[in-house]
Amino acid sequence: MKKLLVCALMAMSLFGCIEEEKTTGKKVLLVSFDGFRYDYLSKTDTPNFDKLVDSGVISEGLIPIFPSKTFPNYYAIATGLYPENNGFIANNMYDPEMDARFTISNREAVENPDWYQGEPIWNTVEKAGKKSGTMFWVGSETPIQDMRPTHWKQYNESMPDSARIDTVVKWLSYGNGKEVDLATLYFSFVDARGHRHGPDSPEVIEAIKRADDLMGYLMQLLNQKQISQKTNLIIVSDHGMTDISRDRVVILDEMINPDDLEVISYSPAMMANVKGNNLDEIYSALKANEEHFNVYKKEEIPERYQLKKHRRVPELLLVADIGYTITTREYFESRANYPSGGNHGFDNQAREMHALFVAHGPDFKKGYTAKPFQNVHLYSLMAHLLEITPAPNDGNLDSVSVLLK
Ligand code: AMP
Ligand code: ZN
Ligand code: ZN
């Protein structure tokens, strides 16, 4: 505060601080807790989140893109592009031109830039002559457009959460213009608990408390390093979570022979090609029994999913109703506890799929609650906060300018 005052006085007389302002400008710190549903903060005491919300902004929900899965949403946030424009149409994909498959556990695929289209925010930052550091974010481990963030890490699920924060705060607080302007942080434990125990479990409440403790630790470090006042902190999630159960299943065998499908991505947004020339027959059989799910031929996929134009989308899309699981008799009967716990990937309009959004910092209003908005607008928001020119994208600042002072 003292330094600020001195700066203000000097600026008034000599403009002495203008140079310093340029090199130590405002920063964006984008934090994500995977699978943190929009309403999780109301499930338990979250004193650290509460402080941020009271002196910042919260949205009634961050609307994910469809399918409400992890990789498509992180990459939509990074690029401001819908799946049909950035190529991330699912967690599991087949690309007919590349003749290759993508799964999130396949390191070679995750680190192959050919899967990633569009321009992620860290490239926009680097192109503007600024610096970025990613402590995990989908796409940051591969040279998209032959570029890399200034600092990046290969995804390491077992890296302790506090060590992630320590590293990112170090990147943000280097002196001599070496500090980054944009940093990202990612934590997976809320999603893992949600899948295993369901969104209404005590285990998820424990995870929410842990997330709150981590935000307390982060704010303490940002204050210690005296960078909290120039950091626009944006805390998000990729999607929500809903409970699933053995009572809510769609058994494919009751409609078709599942062996006729070549499944590429699984429930609740099942994507498949049909083996042989049976597309019409299989489609008609599914359509005639369309209960607790919807079936679409590729060209029929609703516009609002912003999906069907991409070559990676196969012939059929089946979308389970919220809380339902599409499966085969064999899979269902050979697993006594399947399905159970929680899942996501459903229609992105379903309230249960909506995610967390909280922001705090010099450019955000104080004590303001916004209506739900789509996560593709975050790219434009970050570009605006960093005063850099965004690449062409599907979002716009107007949709989120209500958050700003
Ligand atoms: P989902 O299947 O949509 O629930 O995906 C969540 C999983 O994505 C979590 O278990 C994370 O460990 C994993 N994940 C997140 N980021 C990455 C990454 N950069 N590389 C590989 N896996 C990741
Ligand atoms: Zn996720
Ligand atoms: Zn998940």
Q: Write out 39-96 in H/E/C secondary structure.
A: CHHHCCCCHHHHHHHHCCEEECCEECCCCCCHHHHHHHHHHCCCHHHHCCCCCCEEEC
Whether 147 lines ligand 1, by a CB cut-off of 6 Å, is no
pLDDT in tens, 218-234: 999 999 999 999 999 99
| CA angle, 357 then 268 then 245, to 5° | 95
Which tens digit of pLDDT belongs to each residue from 330-366?
A: 999 999 999 999 999 999 999 999 999 999 999 999 9
pLDDT band at 149 (very low <50, low <70, confident <90, very high): very high
Give the span between the Cα atoms of 386 and 30, in whole angstroms.
12
The predicted model gives 374-402 an average pLDDT of 98
What is the average pLDDT across 286-303?
98
Cis amide linkage into residue 67, ω under 30° from 0: yes
Q: How far is it, in rounded angstroms, from Cα 337 to Cα 318?
A: 23
User: Over the chain, what is the mean pLDDT?
Assistant: 94
With cut-offs at 50, 70 and 90, classify the pLDDT of residue 176: confident
Whether pLDDT at 8 is above 90: no
Ligand 1 touching residue 104 (CB < 6 A): yes
Among residues of the chain, what percentage have pLDDT more than 70?
94
Name the residue of 104, 236, 237, 239 whose CB sits within 8 Å of the most ligand 1 atoms, as the mutation to test its pocket. Answer: 104
Confidence (pLDDT) at 25: 84
Strand partners, 63: 374
Domains of the chain by range and CATH? 25-241+349-403 (3.40.720.10), 249-340 (3.30.1360.180)
Average pLDDT over residues 258-274: 98
Query: What number is the average pLDDT over the span 54-58?
Result: 98
Decide whether any atom of ligand 1 lies within 6 Å of the 191 Cβ.
yes
- Confirm or reject: Cβ of 33 under 6 Å from ligand 1: no
Judge whether 89 and 102 are in contact, CB under 8 Å.
no
Could you give phi then psi for residue 209, rounded to 5 degrees? -65, -40
Residue 262 alpha carbon to ligand 2 centre in Å: 25
Alpha carbon distances (Å) from 124 to 44, 120, 138, 140: 38, 7, 16, 13
Q: Mean pLDDT, to the nearest integer, of 366-390?
A: 98
Neighbours of 188 (CB within 10 A): 16
Residues whose CB falls within 8 Å of the CB of residue 40, separated by 6 or more in sequence, listed in order: 190, 199, 204, 208, 356
Q: Does residue 34 have a pLDDT over 80?
A: yes
Q: Which two tokens stand for residue 265?
A: 């991505």
Mean pLDDT of 237-253: 98
SS3 383: helix
Task: Label the pairing between strands 261-265 and 269-274.
Answer: antiparallel
Provide the pLDDT for residue 4: 43
Among the listed residues 23, 24, 46, 70, the single catalytic one is: 70
Residue 138 near ligand 1, beta carbon < 6 Å: yes
Task: Quote the ligand 2 centre to 338 CA distance (angstroms).
Answer: 20
pLDDT 10s digits, 180-200? 999 999 999 999 999 999 999
Rounded to whole angstroms, how far apart are CA atoms 111 and 163? 23
Residue found by looking up tokens 């109301």 in the block = 42
Asked whether 70 lines ligand 1 (CB < 6 A), one says yes
* Cα 198 to averaged position of ligand 2 atoms, centre (Å): 14
Given the CA of residue 34, which atom of ligand 1 is nearest to it? 6
Residue of the CA atom closest to atom 3 of ligand 1: 70
Q: How far is the CA of 188 from the centre of ligand 3 (A)?
A: 8
- Least Cα distance to 28 among 144, 171, 214, 159 occurs for 171
Active site residue 134: no
Count of CB atoms situated within 10 Å of the CB of 105: 8
Gap from CA of 241 to ligand 3 centroid (Å): 8
Q: Nearest C-alpha to atom 5 of ligand 1 is from which residue?
A: 70
Q: Is 108 in the pocket of ligand 1 (CB under 6 A)?
A: no
Q: Name the burial class of residue 354, with classes exposed (0-12), middle (13-18) and buried (19+) by CB atoms within 10 angstroms of its CB.
A: buried
